[in-house]
Amino acid sequence: MSYREALEALKRGEYEDVINWFEGLPPEQRDGKACVLAALAHFKREEYQAAAELYAEAVKAGGTDAADWAKMEALAKSNSAAEIYVHVPAPHYPTKTDLLSWPSVPPGAIPDPPAARSCRCCIKWFRLWLGNGAGAVLTVLMDLLIKIVGRVFGYRGTVWTNWYRHGMVVGVLLLAYIRERLSAENLKSTYPPGELVAFLKNGPPPPPGVARFRTADGSWNNLSDPKEGAANTRFLRNVEFSATHPEKSPRLLTPNPREISLKLLTRPDDADGQPDMAPVLFLNLLAASWIQFMTHDWISHGDVAPNSLITVPLPDDDPAIQRYHQHELVISTTEPDPTRNAGMRPDPAATSFINEVTHWWDGSQIYGSDQATQDHLRSHKSGKMRLGPGGLLPVDPKTGVEETAFMRNWWVGLSMLHTLFVREHNAICDMLHRAYPNWDDNLLFNVARLINAAVMAKIHSVEWTPAILPNQTLEMGMNSNWYGLLTYLRHKSKDRKTVAEINIGNPELGGIVGNPINKHDCVFGLSEEFVEVYRLHSLLPETLQLRRRGIPGIYPEAFAASRQRGSTLLTQQYAMSDLFFSFGNQHPGALVLNNFPRFMQDLSVPGNSFFDLGAVDILRARERGVPRYNEFRRQLGLKPIRSFDDLTDDPKALNNLRSVYGGPPDNVEDLDLLIGTLAEAQRPTHFGFGETVFQIFVVSASRRLQADRFYTDCYNEDVYTPEGLRWIDQTDFKTVILRHYPELADTGLANIKNAFEPWDEGPVLSRDSHPLRAWDRDLKPDPWRGDAYRNA
């Protein structure tokens, strides 16, 4: 076989023949090109160590393409270290019967509730009555005020919203107005009217204990609609069903998703020819890890369809053609919903898909979305979760990857947060055991889970969201969601209680948490549109800058090498506190055009050695019937753009947009949602992303709390215990980190309040890197002093 014949065999997928050809060559004929051909055959067979050795041999031999071969050698090494050929977790496809079955709670899974607390004293009853009575009156007045402000001031200009251009009070009321309008108009159940979620029919009464505790799969949160928000139920919608038609070829591939990825997402080269990431100066890398940690609690489409493929042609100038000797990108479709038209009434939506995890904010990423997973992760002693040596997550002996409930897209940033909050769960168990020494393992576990999930929800609401959107009006609005406006304004952060002594029963003044449930006449579930606005991959860097406390120097680690088993290798090499120290001192990428991680455009995943996640992000919205950018804005009550000039005045960005989508005149109706949101240069003050994404954030941030019984009607001492409510009130992200890694108190973490800010050492902190401090009333006398929190 000649080299040309071997090349043709490679293109046909006859990889073993190519490897045999190479191995039969005499040593003097094994030049760089021959090595690369055999290396690529091994690479496509997911034999990454063998591929890395042959690429290294080719680089040593030299040639005009040696620089590209070196990149492939590095990628193959990363894939080998990560053992990326292993499916983590193993593929699983629930059947129609599984999805339509009545929720089952195994005996003993939910504990008997503890003995009823003694009757509340008259003072507590009076405070409750006073708070509810005042709330009823104030709700009427607040609703009227919100409507008046919304109609008088408005929030839309010629194209963009302007709520942030008003004073803070008017701005907060306008945000409330936007939230109420979206809740009234943009919550759409994908189940037929009159049907229970998952098409359930009459069944048994609620099992014992579910009124007080969360189930593993999220069922029975609503005692009259048992599968509302449960795992393996449908994603809902935030747009009219008439706008949710999945795109088919040729529209599905127009413009070409790979061309969009290359021209509008790719990071440019710096002076050394390396990807040049535009950073977010006011965030650290923990903020990027955190949002993936959260989305894994909320949303997952599960495994892709095994035998259904979308073929994306590669543009003629695509570098992957020469690198991989292929002319198309093959992407599996989303697994379809097997429950379509399972009820007596036809499905209202044109399409639907299944969420494999619970929709609730319940910590399912560490506790599991099914009973078997939860049982496996528990120690079954003192309510605690299992941990391995050194307080790290246990390692699965079959895969070499840490064990936790949600392991898709696993990397070391997730390992850090999963480890931290498993340890936090166990610390909560210790606290509860001291307060209630007679409680058994099951009771301790279930109450600790409630408390830990609420801690995570609070951190996301009042810390992560203001950190990525450091705007004073937004910060007040998010704190009002959790505490209520009255508590936020009257108390400094250390004195705020989620449930005040007299808790005003109004979501704006008294907060959503601890006040009555409100589902806005729609069953709870997260939506396909919610999934799409959380495509925040541009936050991730190409390389992790790892450090060790007290030792100068940075140890770069390719992000791709930190995936799957690579995470285990890193947590064995670096102390967990050093990893947090490293992430606290590295910036994430900005959510703008041409700032997508290069490694994600040339990614290997189990079963597919060449995968462009940027192209996939574009394709998924089209495939799942999420409207494109302009129609998406119309559906949310926003003004459509008239030309690409409305998005940005950057000449390079405009030229790239027009080269892909056509123009002038600009073909704005073809603009994809992800590209439009990244291109938005007109953003509210200090916002890390634009207003289109923010609309879904506005409605979802409130709804995740307001529709959940365990954050509303059941957020009280009887369910969480007085000690549990106090734990939540006294805990923030910094507290959690220092509770488990106290050695970090001697780092820049001590200088800041919000642990998602850069962990700068000071002595004076940059205003650009710490905009939240400008209006922080806890600081005195100078908010820019690095020692402000030490001296406060």
What does the DSSP assignment read for 273-314? SSB-PPB-TT--HHHHHHHHHHHHHH----SPPTT-EEEEEP
Ranking 297-311, 367-381, 397-411, 489-503 by mean pLDDT, the lowest is 489-503
Residue 395 has pLDDT above 80, yes or no: yes
pLDDT at res. 116: 62
Q: Averaged over 389-404, what is the pLDDT? A: 96
Is the pLDDT score of 120 beyond 90?
no
Helix-helix angle 576-584:285-298, to 10 degrees: 110
Pair 392, 450: CB distance under 8 Å: no
DSSP 3-state of 766: coil
Alpha helices in 548-662 (DSSP H): 565-573, 576-584, 598-601, 613-623, 629-635, 651-661
pLDDT tens digit string along 62-77?
A: 888 899 999 999 999 9
Q: How confident is the model at residue 117 (pLDDT cuts 50, 70, 90)?
A: low
| pLDDT mean over 190-199 | 95
DSSP letters along 123-163, please?
A: HHHHHHHHHHHHHHHHHHHHHHHHHHHHHHH-SB-SSSB-G
Mean pLDDT of 73-84: 97
Distance CA 162, CA 177 (A): 13
Give per-residue pLDDT as tens, 213-241.
Answer: 999 999 999 999 999 999 999 999 999 99
pLDDT at 374: 98
pTM of the shown model: 0.96
pLDDT tier at 138 (50, 70, 90 boundaries)? confident
Run of H or E residues at 257: helix 257-260
Structural domains of the chain, with CATH: 3-82 (1.25.40.10), 737-791 (no CATH)
How far is residue 585's CA from residue 63's CA, in Å, rounded to a whole number? 39
Cis status, amide bond into 346, omega within 30 of 0:
no
Q: How far, in Å, CA of 716 to CA of 549, rounded?
A: 41
pLDDT tens across 425-444, in order?
999 999 999 999 999 999 99
The answer to whether 406 and 279 have CB atoms below 8 angstroms apart is: no
Which residues are within 8 A (CB) of 360 and not within 5 positions of it... i.e. 6 or more apart?
Answer: 214, 218, 221, 229, 524, 704, 708, 710
433 is catalytic: no
pLDDT attached to residue 744: 98
In whole angstroms, give the CA distance from residue 1 to residue 6.
6
pLDDT at 792 (0 to 100): 52
In this predicted model, what pLDDT tens digit does every residue of 717-756 receive, in sequence order?
999 999 999 999 999 999 999 999 999 999 999 999 999 9
Q: What is the mean pLDDT of the chain?
A: 94
Q: Residues 42, 87, 245, 296: which is the catalytic one?
A: 296
Instruction: Please give the Cα distance from 174 to 508 (Å, whole number).
Output: 12
pLDDT of residue 119: 52
When pLDDT is cut at 50, 70 and 90, the band that residue 137 belongs to is: confident
Residue 791 has pLDDT above 80, yes or no: no
Mind listing the pLDDT tens digit for each residue in 471-516?
A: 999 999 999 999 999 999 999 988 999 998 888 888 999 999 999 9
Inter-residue contact 705 to 519 (CB < 8 Å): no
Can you give the pLDDT at residue 633? 98
Contact residues for 194 (Cβ-Cβ < 8 A; gap 6+) = 345
